[in-house]
Structure 1
Amino acid sequence: MKAEEPVRLYGTHIAADPAELYEEIRGRHGSVAPILLDDDVPAWFVIGYREVHHVTANPQMFARDSRRWNQWPNIPENWPLLPYVGWNPSVMFAEAGEHQRRAGAIGDALDVIDRTELTSICERASDLLIDTFAGDGEADLVAQYATIVPLYVLAKIFGLPDADVPTLVQDIAESLDVGEGAADAYGRVQARMQRLVKDKKDRPGPDVPSRLLNHPTGLTEEEVFMDLLVVLAAAQAPTGNWIGNALRLMLIDDDFSVSLQGGRSSVAQALNEVLWKDTPTQNFIGRWAVHDCELGGRRVHRGDLLVLGFAAANRDPQVRPSFHDTGTNRAHMSFGHGEHGCTYPGPEMGEIMAKTAIEVLLDRLPDVRLAVDVKELQWRPSLWMRGLFALPVSFTPTTRVSRG
């Protein structure tokens, strides 16, 4: 590969060892690298910590409205990354005052939730799921636990009826797959959220959709619907993979296992370590250059797409903390940064969900162990989200429990 030949940043090789790939790119191209996305669509890969910080901290220079993209004439209708870049009237693509209005309403609606009550909801959800496999002596902690806990919690704070949760869980799981039914499943998720908003408009309750509908900023039903989908996506996959990646590390890394079980550090510190080592949100599309500028020694043109390399930025040798500091240093980029970073109190709530899910599992299944050779664990081949296909474990069968 020539020094300035763009890197093809797609294909199954991405999942094999992304950390090694990022370091190879850094060594050849520096902190901002020319890349090719699917179908050889050009973009910039921002992998320097300082450069990612600069881009995310300056929305007037690097904005979120994807309609600025100078490559739209070259994008096919079936381009696989369209769900990430196709503009829609949600908080994700809003800018300036409009983004502040929408993100502020979401933050207010979430911040009302009592953290003790949220922990109780997480405990009940975790126990409910563990009860389904506790007597079997074996389980897949990805499909049967990690990816589902956040959905049960979200369904509760969204005010969904308990009877709707299993169907929602199934549809979201199918929508995240690469199968033919993914689009139909996502359509059902959208339809369910639309019905939920209409129901809460007529019969408001102590839940997130009702608070958004009644927020002083005067959100419309369509805005609430769109932003609920954003919250759902932003909370489910990242939190589920955060739990799964932490459990994987616990099962294969003796030092990490000790930290999770109360030796070297708390579960919260161990989870923070995961955000440095194996953050769920690896990369993010993105930002679009508002005008010609220079970034990391590169000439970026107006309308260029910038892919934010959060995982690579966390591993930037200029800023990466030592091994013993990763549990307490929270300066990672795993939640983004700036006005389009994860809206407060999202990171705090995600940590409560992940921490509680792991604590309950260790309490219920103290001898849980990996049921396959570590080499058999397979990462999903995604540039964007770091997570396992499955995490098979075994343990001593136990009985069901119930929490009030």
Structure 2
Amino acid sequence: MNDQTTPGAAGGCPVAHGGAPRLYGPEAATDPQGLYSRLRKQYGVVAPVLLEGDIPAWLVLGYRENRRVLDNPLQFSRDSRIWRDWREGRVDESSPLIPMVGWRPDCVSQDGEPHQRLRAAVTDNLNAVAGRGIRRHATHYAHKQIDAFAGTGRADLVTDFAEYLPMLVLTRVFGLAEAEGRRLAESSNLVIKGGADAVAHNERIMGILGELTARKRAEPGSDFTTGLIEHHAGLDEDEIVNHLRLVLITAHTMTSNLLARALQLVLTDTSWLSGLVSGQLDISTVVEEVMWNRPPLAVLPGRFATADLELGGRPIKKGDLLVLGLAAGNSDPDIRPDADVSVQGNQSHLAFSAGPHECPGQNIGQAIIETAVDVLLHRLPGLRLAVPPEELTSTASTWEDRLDSLPVEFTAA
């Protein structure tokens, strides 16, 4: 395939459409880092790729190029209404890309003043709930999760702990019933995973959050949902429900993935575990290492070129879709010539995005993870990996690379 292939050419499809590298499918699912490396070698810091449904896009692989896109909304807008393939009818409403890339009345889908108004409502209320006992809620649910397996001496810290804990905390923060937590966690994971069921699970989430909003209008409380309803930015019904969806899916999937990866690092490298137990390290240092090497979102959707321009030597056309390779950017050899060297103390990773749309809830996720790991280490004496580290497997989608399981053994309570 010609390395000057342009997604904007030939009516929005790459030349030799079937030959473009796919960012989904078997290769991407089993070896995403290998795929990024091969794309970098073949195309440089910006590569033409195909997303689900063979929709063309540019994958940004370079660290500096990612920062340029993230920091410049005037050139690279988050508003997908300018996406050419969508405007010209090549992307159907039922596409699994729509829950991740499609336009919504939320702060992530807009720039400028509309973005600032909506983001203020989110950040103000995230700050408010963070001060109302996030760590207390995380402690409560961490103990509750551990109670279920503490007497067995064995557990899978993905399915028994990390997979659901963040959502259980979020249900309390949102004012939802605890019983909704597992259903919402499963649906959120499937929205991020993509595939045939993504749209249906997105609709399930929207239905639950629509009912929650109606209930909180009638019975307000000291929760995130009520805070959005009453905020001086004056969000309408669609804006409220879509921001609940945005925070719920993003906070849960990123935090659960990051928690699992932090536990994996601690249990596969005894120096990290001994440092935590002895007090020489704190969990924030572990999380920082993971955010550089295994960010919870490997690829961030998406930005749209507002004019014809050049990026990384590639001719980007107005309306082209760009997806941001956060994992690839973090491992860019131009900024990390030796990827095995620790990055302790360096917080310039891309894991939480950057620029005007940088994740506003990262402190809440960090609080949940720090609390969860602290409770786990205190509750489970003799905690150790139950299989050789090389037997641990991961499964990637277009957007994330998720640990499949983390079997452990410990002294039963």
Match 1:118 to one of 105, 116, 134: 134
Q: Do residues 12 (structure 1) and 26 (structure 2) align?
A: yes
Matches within 5 A, 1:51-90: 51-72=65-86, 73-76=89-92, 78-90=94-106
Q: Distance in 1 between matches of 2:340 and 2:280?
A: 13
Q: Which runs of 5+ in 2 are unaligned?
A: 6-19
Give the counterpart of 2:373 among 358, 361, 366. 358
Alignment of 1:300-315 (within 5 A): 300-315=316-331
**Residue from 335, 342, 354 that aligns with 1:337:** 354
Match for residue 190 of structure 1? 206
Equivalence for 1:281: 297
Shift of 1:371: 2.2
Partner Cα separation in structure 1 for residue 382 and residue 37 of structure 2: 36
Question: How far does residue 196 in structure 1 lie from its aligned partner after superposition?
Answer: 1.1
Which sits farther off after the overlay, 7-16 or 308-317? Answer: 7-16
1:295 aligns with 2:311: yes
Q: Distance in 1 between matches of 2:106 and 2:313?
A: 33
- Partner Cα distance (1:180, 1:21) in 2: 23
Query: Aligned to 2:133, what secondary structure does the other structure show?
Result: helix
Tell me the TM-score normalized by structure 2. 0.89
Q: Which amino acid aligns with 1:52?
A: N
- The number of residues matched between the two structures is 396
Q: Distance in 2 between matches of 1:169 and 1:147?
A: 7
- 2:96–2:194 CA contact under 8 A, matched in 1: no
Specify whether residues 12 and 258 from structure 1 end up closer, same or farther in structure 2 by C-alpha distance, changes over 3 A only.
farther
Q: Which amino acid aligns with 1:191?
A: G
Deviates more, 1:374-383 or 1:333-342: 374-383
Q: Give how far 1:323 is off.
A: 5.0
The equivalences for 1:263-282 within 5 A come to 265-282=281-298
Distance, in Å, in 1 between the alignment partners of 2:41 and 2:193 is 33
Question: Cα distance, 1:292 vs. partner?
Answer: 0.5
Deviations 1:3-59 (A, max 9, x none): 557422221222333223222222222111122223432211111111111111110
C-alpha contact (below 8 Å) 1:245/1:274 kept by paired residues:
yes
Tell me whether 1:207 sits opposite 2:240 in the alignment.
Answer: no
User: In 2 relative to 1, CA 310–237 (structure 1 residues): closer, same or farther, beyond 3 Å?
Assistant: same
Does structure 1 conserve the Cα–Cα contact (< 8 Å) formed by 2:60 and 2:323? yes
State the SS of the aligned residue for 1:34.
Answer: strand
Distance 1:228 1:17 in 2: 33
Counterpart of 2:112 in structure 1 is 96
Question: Does the CA contact (< 8 Å) of 1:12 and 1:381 recur in 2?
Answer: no
Aligned to 1:148: 164
Alignment-derived partner of residue 385 in structure 2: 370
Paired with 1:179 and 1:285, the residues of 2 have a C-alpha distance of 16
| CA apart distance, 1:193 | 1.0
Q: 1:280 is paired with a residue of what secondary structure?
A: coil
1:63 is aligned with what amino acid? S
- What RMSD over aligned residues (CA atoms) do the two structures have, in Å? 2.3
Instruction: Answer yes or no: is the 8 Å Cα contact 1:52–1:308 preserved in 2.
Output: yes
Q: Where in structure 2 are the equivalents of 1:388-403 lying within 5 Å?
A: 388-398=403-413
Which of 366, 371, 395 is the matching residue for 1:380? 395
Unaligned runs of 5+ in 1: 399-404
- State the identity as a percent: 38
Deviation at 1:249, TM superposition (A): 1.7
Q: Does 1:25 align with 2:25?
A: no
Cα distance per residue 1:61-98 (max 9 Å; x no partner): 10011121112232345433232222222222122111
Amino acid at match of 1:381: A
